Amino acid sequence: MSGEPLALYVHWPFCVSKCPYCDFNSHVRAEIDQVAWREALLADLAHEARLLPGRRLTSIFFGGGTPSLMEPSTVAAIIDSARTHWEPAGNVEITLEANPNSVEAARFADLAKSGVNRISLGLQSFDDRALAFLGRAHSAREGFAALQTAQKHFRRVSFDLIYALPGDTEDGWSATLAQALSLGTSHLSLYQLTIEPGTRFASMVARHEFEPLGADAAAALFELTDAMTSSGGMPAYEISNHARPGQESRHNLTYWRYGDYAGIGPGAHGRRLGRRTVRHRKPENFIGALARNGHGVAEEAPLSAVEGADEALVMGLRLREGVDPDAIAERFGLPAIVAWSRVERLVDSGHLKREGSRIALTARGRLLLDHILGEIAAVEEPRALAVG
Ligand code: SF4
């Protein structure tokens, strides 16, 4: 596996406050010992590096949580260490997620100096009422100011918006999208609001404090998004991610194309050499595990051929470029991973397109990803053979 590409994910688990829709591994703490956290993340990184020698580092992604709350010197130390452990590829993509407020924007210059070359900004909305509903700590005005600062310091800037909020209309979302496309970034992540179990929004919906937007209205907004971003030169390359050609997130493409990635920091998932890894989620447990074991791994297990192939299919179908199920089957030593007769039926019904053995969702199919996966992956005979 020497020289094989490798992506590195670094999870910073802290936020200033908890957003009501958030089910990420994020925690609010009165005090954070930055030095202790730097040492912990560097030790966790060294553990992965020992198990993955000789790899070529293609991307680093600082996610969270709110990684723009990390000291830039900690970010720099992790980047430098990763570049020492692994041979960096020619142009390593180094992304950091940031919240758009003035405190964090003030750090952008230092983060750029530390080696970050791409920023992903959580704008979420251009409307103060929507931002208040989403429990965000920034205003629309602060968001625009942070975006300008980001564009001054980073050549590659992406931002996130959340749509399909209660009461969202096609006219309103179309005006927001037109504005988003005019802001000069090369990448957009556009997520529909989903009510995740265990979040404050889930309790509010259960208490009938608000009604989520209906499925038909949300689907209409998704189709509008597809049409407007395509004509605006930023088509979807994944269900929720849009980019100008060549500006796709290389790091996320590694996930979706089922490449290896090391995941360090609390709750981080990783996939290395056919094994899945999960770190301790709670920051205190993660630090405790590092002190005891020299790494933060909570669980590690080999992926079976069927699990690996299923994941590769699920991930790959999210991409506009689609996947080659026969190549996945060959990679995992399985006779087949899809029922081609069912694939053909979905091609006939306009939900999938097929070129040779490569398949991809159509615009219509993208609304029904889970359903389609259930249909095509339900392969009785070969699967039964493979599982045994
Ligand atoms: S800032 Fe991001 S990670 Fe933190 S609570 Fe809000 S949505 Fe979750």
Phi-psi category of residue 167: left, alpha or beta, with phi > 0 → left and psi -120 to 50 → alpha: left
User: What's the pLDDT at 53?
Assistant: 96
Average pLDDT over residues 81-94: 96
DSSP state of 201: H
pLDDT band at 323 (very low <50, low <70, confident <90, very high): very high
Q: What is the mean pLDDT of residues 375-382?
A: 62
pLDDT band at residue 363 under the 50/70/90 scheme: confident
Q: What is the mean pLDDT of residues 108-130?
A: 97
Question: In a 3-state reduction of DSSP, which class is residue 268?
Answer: coil
Q: What is the pLDDT of residues 247-306, one digit of tens each?
A: 999 999 999 999 999 999 999 999 999 999 999 999 999 999 999 999 999 999 999 999
Asked whether the predicted pLDDT for residue 90 surpasses 60, the reply is yes
Checking if the pLDDT of 380 tops 70, the result is no
In which band, very low, low, confident or very high, does the pLDDT at 102 lie, cut at 50, 70 and 90?
A: confident
| Burial group, residue 384, by CB count within 10 angstroms (0-12, 13-18, 19+) | exposed
pLDDT by residue (tens digit) across 18-53? 999 899 999 999 999 999 999 999 999 999 999 999
For 104-112, the CB contacts below 8 A with 24+ separation are 104/66, 104/68, 104/69, 104/146, 105/145, 105/146, 105/149, 105/150, 107/68, 107/72, 108/149, 108/150, 108/152, 108/153, 108/154, 109/153, 110/72, 111/68, 111/72, 111/75, 111/153, 112/153, 112/154
Mutate to test the pocket of ligand 1, among 14, 16, 17, 22 (most ligand atoms within 8 A of CB): 22
Q: Give, for 297, the enclosing helix (H) or strand (E).
A: strand 297-302
Q: Which two tokens stand for residue 108?
A: 């952008």
- Give the pLDDT score at 378: 52
Contact predicate 224/174, CB 8 Å = yes
> Across residues 52-56, what is the average pLDDT?
97
Q: Determine whether the shortest distance from the Cβ of 68 to ligand 1 is under 6 A.
A: no
- Which is nearest to 123 in space by CA: 191, 24, 61, 59? 191
CA-17 nearest atom, ligand 1: 5
Mutation test of ligand 1: which of 26, 131, 162, 191 has the most ligand atoms closer than 8 Å to its C-beta?
26
CB-based contact 104:146 (threshold 8 Å): yes
pLDDT band at 349, cuts 50/70/90? very high
Nearest to 369 by CA among 331, 325, 326, 320: 320
> Residue 379 has what pLDDT?
52
In this structure, what token pair is assigned to residue 199? 């979040």
Q: What is the tens place of the pLDDT at every residue in 194-204?
A: 999 999 999 99
Distance 344 CA to ligand 1 centre (A): 41
> Comparing C-alpha atoms, which of 125, 68, 73 is closest to residue 95?
68
User: Is residue 317 classed as helix, strand or coil in its secondary structure?
Assistant: helix
HEC profile for 81-94?
Answer: HHHHHCEEEEEEEE
pTM beyond 0.85: yes
Pocket test for ligand 1, best of 14, 16, 24 (most atoms within 8 A of CB): 24
- The atom of ligand 1 lying closest to the CA of 135 is 6
Tell me the two tokens of residue 158. 């992406």
Please give the mean pLDDT across all residues of the chain. 94
- Decide if pLDDT at 386 tops 90: no
For residue 2, the model assigns a pLDDT of 64
So what's the pLDDT on residue 103? 80
Q: How far is CA 296 from the centre of its chain?
A: 21
Tell which residue, 59, 31, 35, has the closest CA to residue 262: 59
Q: Is 293 exposed, middle or buried (0-12, 13-18, 19+ CB in 10 A)?
A: exposed
For residue 19 and ligand 1, the question of a CB distance below 6 A is answered with yes
Q: Is pLDDT above 50 for 150? A: yes
What would the mean pLDDT of 43-72 be, rounded to a whole number?
96
- Cα dihedral sign, 197-308-271-257: negative
pLDDT greater than 90 at residue 314: yes
DSSP symbol at 324:
-
Residue nearest to atom 2 of ligand 1 (CA): 65
pLDDT band, very low/low/confident/very high, at 384 (cuts 50, 70, 90)? very low
pLDDT score of 383: 40
For ligand 1, is residue 20 a contact (CB within 6 Å)?
no
User: For ligand 1, is residue 22 a contact (CB within 6 Å)?
Assistant: yes
